[in-house]
Amino acid sequence: MSAQKPLTGVKVIELGTLIAGPFASRIMAEFGAEVIKVESPDGGDPLRKWRKLYEGTSLWWYVQSRNKQSLTLNLKSDAGKEILKRLVADADVVIENFRPGVLEKLGLGWDVLSEINPRLVMVRLSGFGQTGPYKDQPGFGAVGESMGGLRYITGFDDRPPVRTGISIGDSIAALWGVIGGLMALRHREMQGGKGQVVDVALYEAVFAMMESMVPEFDVFGFIRERTGNIMPGITPSSIHTTADGKHVQIGANGDAIFKRFMQAIDRGDLAADPALVDNAGRDQRRDEVYGVIDEWVAGHSLETVLAILNKAEVPASRIYSVADMFKDPQFLARDMIQSARLPDGKAFKVPGIMPKLSATPGSTEWLGPELGEHNQVVLSQLGYSDDEIEQMKLSGVI
């Protein structure tokens, strides 16, 4: 692994499954951390079998677990617990997303692990956090999105709430986990060397994204509702349908942008209307404004709409499918669609790395490993002999 990565030298033990915990450790692995993913010997992470499979393994798995080492451990066995404790002894971060109390029941809670390694940072991701009356309830990302407020405001007002199309709650929680973990490492570096717990609740991770919702309710009693593709108070910004049946997002809510937009579509009267010079005035007449935009867009093809608006410097975009991304020059120029090979040599594409760091960029060193692929190397580094490792296999420890 290249030394020119910002997290080179950071050792991470991942105890998570599926999305939130593994996504957090994936990000750290992409930027140089040594990530050892601990999996059950009985099948490993369920993500290995999620969504589209190629030769029996999830394509998602190859991305979510890139740059990680796979170590199988039966954490219900005394030998498995002992191995984990040895791993933790010189680790920097443990990332786990079990339900609160699971590790404690195994004798592997924060009290035990931090005594082994006082410098340890433990990132704990769960549905409701490590405290509070809901902490013992199961809480997947969908529950976090619902309780955190996202589902309530997503969709159209005459229909039930809808999901966003991906497991966004888990991913947001993972990002907060990485941020918290890096802040804790920074604190350890600057303030005496002690670790701490980073407690991330999925519902709070989503709730933190809810913009002005809390003060607006407290001060005005205002409850933000579902408004489809528009956002009342910010006009115009919406999705419109073209003459060829495609969809375009237009964001022209800046005052100067709106003026250029109206001039570009031969509505100089609206560009010059003093009542529409600012956002507040446009929002009061938003039905009229959106009606004008809908009519104009409906009279042109998508490519014509984009050409006119780009020339006028009005922010606009087609609604991209993954097929659009594969051929888009911006994605390609920034290396966001990368080439890789499956275990049998078949070429395929994986998403690129972000954020882009100018001096110490992240990279894909290898794809998601086979279950237990790194057992031998990891256990050997911990001081176990080949005979001891073989006995662990026979006894079901690994």
* Residue 158 belongs to domain with CATH number: 3.40.50.10540
The pLDDT tens digits of the residues spanning 283-302 come to 999 999 999 999 999 999 99
**Mean local confidence (pLDDT), 207-232:** 96
Report residue 1's pLDDT band, with 50, 70 and 90 as the boundaries. very low
Q: Answer yes or no: is 270 within a domain.
A: yes
| 20 shares its domain with 119 | yes
| 188 shares its domain with 120 | yes
| 309 shares its domain with 353 | no
The pLDDT tens digits of the residues spanning 133-183 come to 999 999 999 999 999 999 999 999 999 999 999 999 999 999 999 999 999
Whether residue 170 lies in the annotated active site? yes
Count CA within 13 A, CB hemisphere, residue 152. 13
Q: Which of 45, 92, 170, 199 is catalytic?
A: 170
C-alpha 192: how far from chain center: 31
The pLDDT tens digits of the residues spanning 89-122 come to 999 999 999 999 999 999 999 999 999 999 999 9
Q: What's the domain count of the chain? A: 2
DSSP alpha helix (H) spans, the chain: 20-30, 59-64, 78-89, 102-105, 110-116, 141-147, 168-190, 202-207, 213-220, 255-264, 268-271, 279-284, 286-298, 302-311, 322-327, 329-333, 375-381, 386-395
User: How far, CA to CA in Å, does 373 sit from each of 61, 69, 81, 261?
Assistant: 14, 7, 19, 57
Q: Answer yes or no: is 2 within a domain.
A: no
**Mean local confidence (pLDDT), 206-224:** 97
Q: Answer yes or no: is 326 within a domain.
A: no
This prediction's pTM:
0.94
| Residue listed under structure tokens 């999705």 | 239
| 313 shares its domain with 346 | no
| 270 shares its domain with 170 | no
Q: Answer yes or no: is 227 within a domain.
A: no
State the residue range of the domain holding 200: 11-209+340-395
* Residue 255 belongs to domain with CATH number: 3.30.1540.10
